Every structure is written in structure tokens, then in C-alpha cells.
Amino acid sequence: MKALGFRMAVGAFAITLTMQADAMDATPVDASAWAGNPFAEPSALSFHLPPFDRIADHHYLPAFEAGMVEQRREIEAIDRNPEAPSFANTIVALERSGRILERVSKVFFNLNQSNSSDTTLAIEKEMAPRLAAHDDAILLDPALFARVEAVYRQRSSLPEGSEARQLLDRYYTRFVRAGARLAPAEQAKLRAMNEQLATLGTDFRQTVLKATADAAIAFDQAADLDGLSKEELGAAAEAAAARGLKGKWLVTIENTTIQPLLAHMKNRAQRKRIYRASIARASGGANDNTVAIARMIKLRAERARLLGYQSHAAYVLADANAGTPQAVNTILKQVARAGVSRATREAAAIQKLIDVQAKAAHAKTFTLQPWDWVFYAEQVRKAEYNFDEAEVKPYFDLDRVLQDGVFFAANQLYGLTFKERKDLPTYRPDVRVFEVFDSDGSSLALFLADFFSRDNKQGGAWMDSFVDQSALFDCKPVVVNNLNIRKPAAGQPVLLTFDEVTTLFHEFGHALHGMLSKVEYPTLSGTRVPNDFVEYPSQFNEMWAREPAVMAHFAKHYQTGAAMPKALFDKVLAAQKFDQGYATTEYIEAAMLDQSWHQIGPEQAPAADQVMTFEASALHKNGIALAAVPPRYHTPYFLHIFAGDYEAGYYSYLWSEVLARATGNWFHSHGGMTRANGDILRAKVLSRGHTQNTKALFEAFYGGAANAGPLLEYRGLAAPDHKP
């Protein structure tokens, strides 16, 4: 996933949070607090890597203050320019503005997701509404919009299809969508809404972070965790020790509804206990998000109406590839039918196994429940494909997967090579830095790898950037991948599940999109594309985790170095279509929940005490309320849509996967993993950022529009199940 949380942009759009005009004339910068601040000047390190060894929490507020003051002065200079508005003195000038704010924002919001402290969480709460006001003061500045509009009227002077023309179009569109055409009274309402939404989103994210940490369960006896591997038990012991619970085992909660450890835990009562802890997060008690959810949904709907749209979904999708809620609903329903049909068959097979085992043990059978599915599905997979995860994990050592899998594929496709840099500072000792070299040997980018979970790190996996590529500022990209792998006990290997292997390839696909960018203007750089396109390169890159030539290169035993036996190798590949009914349905449930929340008007927004009732009703209305298959995220901890920028956009993973699987078919029909094919994708898509309409970019590469057929085939949903 791309940058869950506050997505940063460049120039006048330095923060997509949205600042009343008087706030921009803000507080003068305290010179003594600003002196020696590491954000005052561009970093002198390679690639302008932030000087993490010099940055402390007390540097952020002065840098935000100075950055806002600087940018306001730059905007005023554009407003007061006596020359006629032009692309150079208005649009490029906007693009050049806000460099201090850009530097501090990149570091702060990245680290506040991956390495937060009580201080940074407090700063986030203070700054969210102020930055929202700052953004509004730019986007709702009538003199500035008059200049932008004047340049836009003369857009025919810029070549059709040029990067400059696209930059102008993006600026004009953003101003209009931000309310630049509204009357002053309506703009005042909009400013107030934006500030409230910024605060509510911050509160939501911080509540989920705390609720997730608090939901961890301590076990006094390892016997309660029977079924976990030695490495998993070691990680649980380490997690307990980190919280001062020596001699105990701590199961921490991941951001998804179903916890991965449930696949191995034999004790049904303890599985239920962990599941209940997961779904109870942020829906009551001290950590409750329902009030924030109800308020956010109503505010978003009211804001959409103010801007002239029927719903928040209509507003969001008008600037996405999908275009309309109807287009999103159509593809979700199409895939839902296949997913639910397959999931129903999978549930029947699991229930049959439960009944058979109960009969053999002379015990009472029970009905399949959500906390049972992954445990028994693992047994079904073992029976059908004759292997289990414990047999496979020794072949997926993290470092080997990274270097001999992820990096190897990037080398084969794009000619990239990687060298670890231990001379550069990081924000934590276990964060790794790699310099990336292009096929001609020139330095291309820096790649940071932050792979381990911790209490002060947001759940999930994501990519973001500390520096965006742009020729305008002569900047090469610095990107980071975040995962949440449980750190094992000292001396034990870091062994991955195949799902985690796939996640590593997925996030590196985002990283490639950022690192291979070759554009002039930072607003159009890398992953700054619509959400329903940004997941396309990452989901395409997932396919190489399954590619036999790549898998053979990294699937080697961590102790002996022996290659995974071909028979096991074949079973792992064949099993990738197993349980896809479940995986597809849990995702579709979440995507439909997102649309249900955002396709309503303000008059339909539920009160806080009706939030969970609304959720249940939405699942039933869409025909996807399977008792044993809960949504991947329940509403109170659905970070993507309430604290990220995926609201009305969670469908993007599916929409992008249609493009990704079509691209996979294209590669295989054109000779597979070759430099020639990689260079075509790089030249036509990965290097282009948002320099052109992204639908046009894809179709220029692919030769036309994609359909869902390759996706359904990839997931094994297009035809009856086949056993190996």
C-alpha cells in the first residue's frame, strides 16, 4: 500500500490536509528555536537523506512554523507579481514554494507512523488542523486562483500531452475541487469542515494505534499457544519482554481483523479470545472511534454537497480512473459473485473437516466461526496440497528473499543493482539503507527497509518517500518500505510466510514506482497518481514472487542453503489459488463497506451508537454477510478510509489488480521476465508518474483497456477448483 496516513505532496500542496487565512500570517518564527534546526537547509547527505542522527522531536514544531511562514511569503509574492500570469511565474512558482514545509512534513509524517513518540503524537494533534488551515489558505486564495485560472485559459499555448500541460491541469483541478469557485460564506464553511476533519482523522489514527497496542494478550503458559513454531513463540516472548512482562508470551494484534497466528493455534478458546480482542478494537470503552466515525461521515457528505456532488464517493471518484460510484459498484459486484460462490464452497469443505474430526474424537461438532477458518483452512490446504506453512517457512529467510528475490527480479527486469550503505544514519538501528544503481552504473535512488513491528509503529505494510524525484529540484528519490514482521528472539532467523513474501514484493513494487520516476515536476512524480492506479505497479510486482525462475533463486533453506525441493516448490505455486474465495470476500466486504459509508448523503449518516448497525446492514444489503468471513477491516479500525487517503477508494486494490493481472498476461505472452519487457513498462508507465492521464498511460502500454478475466483466473475464481 502507498503511504497510509497523511500523503505528502510538493509545493503549494505540501500537505493534503487542508488553514484559514489569518493562520497563514501566523506566529513569527522563534529565531533561537530555529537556529541549528536540521530542517532549515536541504540535507547535505547523499540523495538529501534526512539527517536522522540530528533530528529530535523538539525540531518539528519550529520547522513547521518556519515552513508555513516561508510558504505564505512565497504565495504572497506570486499574488503581488505585477507581471501578467504565466506558467513560469504562477504554476512553476507554486511548484517551487514550501520547501521547508516539505522537508519537515516528509520526515514527521513518515516517522509518526513508523516510529512515533508521545511528543510526536501530541504534535500531530496540534498541527493537523493548522496544516489543514494552511492548505485552505492557499487553495482558497482568490488572487492566487485568479492567476491560476488566467494561465489555464491560455493552456493551448502549452503542447497537448506535455508535462507542463498536465501540471497546469492538475493545479487548476485541485483549486476547483478544493472550493476555489465557492462564495466567501461557503468557503468559510468549507474551512471549518476541513479543520474538523483533519482533527478527527488524527484522533481516529491515534485511537487505533492505542487500541491495537492495548488489545495485545499476555499468556502465562506457552501451552496455551500450542501449535506455534519455535520462532513464533520466541517472537511472543520478545514482545512480552519489551513490555516488561518477563516470563510471559505476548500476542500482539495486527491491523487486520483475522490474526495470522490463528492459523496455527490449536486451542480453540484461545483463538476465539484473540479474535474477540481484534474485533473489539476502538468500538467502545476508553478507545472508542464510533463518535469520530459518525462525525466524519456526516462532514464528508456535507462537504461533498457543498462542492456540488451527491456524495463523498462521487466527489472522490470524479478525479479517479473509475469516474463514478456506479463503475466501482459494477466491478465490486462482479468479483463479489465469484468470491462469495467460492467462499461458500470453501466453508462447506472446512465444515466437513470439522465434523469428521469431531466424530473421530467422539466429541460434539460445532459450526465454523471466524476464529476457526484459517486454522482449519491450513489443514485443508495441507491435505489437498500435502504441505503446511511450517514446512515452507525455512525456505523464506527475510534477507535472502529481499536480496535474491526482490532485488534479483528488479535486476532482471530493469537492470538495477543494490549496495547496502551502513555509513548513512537511520532513525532506528534495524532500519537498513541501500543505494540503488541503474543499469549504466549511475546512482538512481536510496531504498530504506523498515521491516519489523513495534508498539509505536502503525500496523500493516506501506511505502512512502522521504525525498521525491524531480528534475526541477535536481532530486533523486529516497523511498522507504514498512512491514510489520514479528521480530524473533535474538539469534533466531527471520522466516516469512509466503503471504509475507508476497507483501514484500508488493511494497517493493511501490518503491520501484517511486525510484524509477523520471519527471520534471515533483507534483507529478512517482506514486502521485490516483489511488486506483497507484496500486497497479505494486500488485503487478507481486507476480514475480510466484515466478518459478525468481522463486528458485530465493527459496533456499536458511540453514543448509539447499533449494526448495521441486515437489514442494510445485505445491506452493499450485496452492496460491487455494482459499481465494475467502481472501476475495473479506476484501470485497471491506471495499463495499467503504462505498456504503461514502455513497450516502448527510441526512443518512448514522449516529455514533448506530455505526455498527449501519455496518451490518450494509454487508447484508450487498449480499456478502458471510458469518464465517468477516471484513478484512471492521469500521472502527479501518485506517485506510478514516485516517488515510483511501476513503471511497479502498476498491482501488481491485481496480488496480485488473490492470496488474492484464500486465502479467502481457509479459508472459511477450517472453516473460526480460529486460526488453521491463524497459517497455519502465518507459511507458513506471517512469512517467502522473505526467499523463493514467488510463491513457496504461492503454498506451497495453494496447487497450483491461478486463477482469485475468484477475479471476489469477485468483482461481474463473473456473471450478482443481486439485494438484
Specify the residue for cell string 499457544. Answer: 225
Total Cβ atoms within 10 A of residue 226: 13
Active site (annotated) includes residue 586? no
Cell 494552511 sits on residue: 134
Using CA atoms of 575, 576, 581, 585 in order, give the dihedral in degrees to the nearest 10: 150
Closest CA to 696 of 707, 687, 705, 686: 705
Q: How far apart are CA 342 and CA 651, in angstroms?
A: 20
SS3 218: strand
Nearest-angstrom CA–CA distance, 18 and 12: 11
Catalytic residue among 65, 346, 389, 507: 507
Contact 278, 240 (CB under 8 A): no
Q: What is the grid cell recorded at 433?
A: 539503507
Per the CB < 8 A criterion, the answer to whether 554 and 398 are in contact is no
Task: State how far the Cα of 159 lies from the Cα of 168, in Å rounded to an integer.
Answer: 11
By C-alpha distance, which of 84, 79, 60, 91 is closest to 21? Answer: 79
| Paired residues of 419 in beta bridges | 435
Contact 46, 446 (CB under 8 A): yes
d(CA 67, CA 89): 21
In angstroms, how far is CA 60 from the centroid of its own chain? Answer: 24
The answer to whether residues 392 and 384 touch, using CB atoms and an 8 Å cutoff, is no
CA atoms within 13 A of residue 300's CA, in its CB half-sphere: 31
Instruction: Report the SS3 class of residue 249.
Output: strand
563-589 burial, b at 16+ Cβ within 10 Å, e below that, comes to bbeeebbebbbbbbbbbbbbbbbbbbb
Report d(CA 496, CA 486) in Å as an integer.
10
- Coil, strand or helix at 437: strand
**What CA–CA distance (Å, rounded) separates 79 from 88?**
13
Catalytic residues: 507
